[in-house]
Amino acid sequence: MSDSPAPERPLEQNVFDEWPDAVRALFDGSSLASKMGFTASLLSVDASGHIRSSLLGVGELYAPDSRTLCIALWPQARATRAIAQNGRAALSFVCDEAFYQVQLRVKPLASVAGDDSGLVYLIGSIDTAEAQSVRYARLTSGITFELAGERETVLDRWERQIEHLKQAAAGASRLDA
C-alpha cells in the first residue's frame, strides 16, 4: 500500500436546487448593460425528437426567486413550440468559472397588460441542476455576442422585457399563494 494521498478529482460537480448567488445576480434583471454579451442556450426536444435551441441574453431571463426562472421567447421560435408540447427545457451557460446545466419544468405565464412585444413568457422551476468545473482550467466565457450598432435599441427592449417578466412572475406568485 502506498502512503501517498488519493489523487484529486479533476472534475467538480455541484448539484443544486436553488440558484447559487452568482447566478441569481446574473438573472436578477438589473444592470443589463454591464451583462451585455452573456448568452445562455435553452434546449428543448420537439415532438419529432429533434433538439431545439434558442440563444438567450440576460434581457430574456429573470429569476424572481431562488428556484424559478422566467423566460421571454419569440412565439415563432422552434424552442417555444417544443416547450409548449412537453413543458421541459434545459438551460446551459457559463457563470463564475463553471459550466451550468439546469433542467427546468416550464409552463406559460399570463400575458402582461400593456405589453405589445409579441413575446411569449414562460416560468420554469428547477428540476435538477449542476455546475461543473475543473481545478486546472477556468472557464472565462461561454457563447458570447456583441451587438452591431443596435446596442441602445436592444438594451431598451430588454429593460421592457425584464419589467414584463417581473410583472408576469409577480402575477404567477399571487396565483400560487
Q: Candidates 3.40.50.800, 3.40.630.30, 2.30.110.10, 3.40.50.720; correct CATH number of 12-176?
A: 2.30.110.10
The model's confidence at residue 174, banded by pLDDT at 50, 70 and 90, is low
**pLDDT, the chain, mean:** 90
The grid cell for 79 is 424552442
Range of 100-109, 130-139, 151-160 with top mean pLDDT: 100-109
**What's the rounded Cα separation, in Å, for the pair 40 and 101?**
10
Strand blocks (E) in 80-143? 88-95, 98-108, 120-134
The more confidently predicted of residues 64 and 137 is 64
State pLDDT tens for residues 81-133.
999 999 999 999 999 999 999 999 999 998 888 888 899 999 999 999 999 99
Q: What is the H or E stretch that residue 25 is in?
A: helix 21-26
Of 78, 83, 172, 167, the C-alpha closest to 117 is 167
**What's the rounded Cα separation, in Å, for the pair 2 and 42?**
47
Single-letter amino acid code for the residue at 14 = N
> Whole-prediction pTM value?
0.85
β-pair partners for 12: 133
> What is the pLDDT at residue 7?
53
Average pLDDT over residues 134-140: 85
> What is the pLDDT at residue 6?
47
> What is the pLDDT at residue 150?
86
Q: What percent of the chain has pLDDT over 70?
A: 92
Average pLDDT over residues 38-63: 95
**Sequence ranges of the domains in the chain:** 12-176
Say yes or no to pLDDT of 144 above 70.
yes
Say yes or no to pLDDT of 25 above 70.
yes
**What's the rounded Cα separation, in Å, for the pair 165 and 160?**
9
> What is the pLDDT at residue 75?
92
> What is the pLDDT at residue 147?
83
Give the contacts of 108 (CB within 8 A, at least 6 positions apart): 84, 120, 121, 122, 123
The model's confidence at residue 177, banded by pLDDT at 50, 70 and 90, is low
- Long-range CB contacts for residues 145-152, cutoff 8 Å, separation at least 24: 145/37, 145/39, 145/55, 145/57, 146/37, 147/36, 151/36
